[in-house]
Amino acid sequence: MDPTLQKNIIFLVRLSIITVGLLAGYLALYYVVPYFFQVLLRVPVFFIPFFLAFILAWLIEPLVRSFQKRFRVSRGTSVLFSLTVLWGSIALFFFVLLSRLVRELMQLYRTFTQTSNTINQTLLALSTNLSNFCDQLSIPPKIIESLRLYMGSVLIKVQFLIQESLNAVFNFFGVLPEVVIIFFIATLATFFFSRDRELIGRLLFNWMAPGWRIKVRGLIREVGGALVGFIRAQAILVSMTAVLSGVGLIILKVNYALSLGLLTGLLDLLPLVGPGLLLVPWSLWLLATGNLSLGCGLLVLYAIIVLVRQMLEPKIVADSLGLHPLAVLIGLYVGLQAGGIVGMFLGPLLLVLLQSLQRAGMIPHIPKNWEIR
């Protein structure tokens, strides 16, 4: 073959390889990589039942050991008894509350629908009165038109908010079958996690060096205990808010006190807004419509809830996580400034992780000659 022709063929082959490589890189960058990250972000969602199972297995471990020791049964039987007691207690709790709760929710839904119509009529009347008032004061037409447009936009936003709230209720009932499936799988996984706890532990630690096994075991024990403590602390705070709200609403003679109290407790899981997302707009609406006693009562109730939570939250979280209350406050504030709402949860957990790493020997302690005397 002619050397020049051979050289040109080699050049064309190399150019083709480079072109194909660049094209493949372009396609990967704009199509494959975004899809990969979407799948990667959804991976935790796929493991939600097993994450719940791990937490449940950790929570029922004291009960499992108690059944084993008292009745001298196998670990599998003890786990089965523990799960039966756990879900039986939850089922009994919901059975006791379910009849009244469902009745209140149905009545609350009808009342909410009627109230939405009242809100629309009130806003329309307010817009008409404002227009008549502006006409009497001889306000320029442009300003009147701007006010009308503003009131119209407010009315549209209120209608949209009400419709979205109703849609959220229906969507919640729509995902109930999926939630039931998740909890069913989580229950089965909990049984196997708890029954074969030692076997799973051996499989996970056999590939580690002996020195690291002790450290990792200690780290898992510390982090797991802290995670359970954090869940316990949040459960205590939510229950406290729900009880305070329910009792306060009963004292104020508000209908649907049970449902609204539970809703207020669940809203307590939302940092910054919390129960105020329900109580503040509700009280302002009552004050605007002339129901001063109930409106002021709701504001006082909200102030009591906030005050009690702010006083007890650092202590409860600190006791559950094994941290000093000042450290919890620092973690909450720094987490809020750094990561917003999510950061408020991650701040104390990061402190717990650092503490667990130090206790497990993965972070060296401060040398004695560095200590402040």
Q: List pLDDT tens digits, range 6-25.
A: 777 777 777 788 888 778 77
Closest residue by Cα to residue 204 from 217, 215, 194: 217
Alpha helices in the chain (DSSP H): 3-27, 33-46, 48-71, 75-136, 141-174, 176-195, 197-205, 210-251, 257-267, 276-288, 292-321, 325-359
Q: Which residue has the higher pLDDT, 250 or 41?
A: 250
Q: How far apart are alpha carbons 264 and 367 in whole angstroms? A: 48
Please name which of 102, 107, 112 lies closest in space to residue 173, comparing C-alpha atoms. 102
CA distance 55 to 63: 14
Q: Are 182 and 52 in contact (CB under 8 A)?
A: yes
Question: Is the full-model pTM beyond 0.75?
Answer: no
Query: Distance between alpha carbon 129 and the CA centroid of its chain, in Å?
Result: 43
Distance separating the N- and C-terminal Cα atoms of the chain? 87
* pLDDT for the residue 152: 66
What does the DSSP assignment read for 321-345? HT--HHHHHHHHHHHHHHHHHHHHH
* 359-372 average pLDDT score: 55
Whose CA is closest to 205, among 195, 188, 218, 192? 218
pLDDT at residue 58 in the model: 81
Residue 253 structure tokens = 């003679």
Average pLDDT over every residue of 37-42: 61
**pLDDT of 177-229, one tens digit each?**
787 888 899 999 999 999 998 888 888 777 777 777 777 777 777 777 777 77
Cα angle vertex 32, ends 31, 34, to 5°? Answer: 75
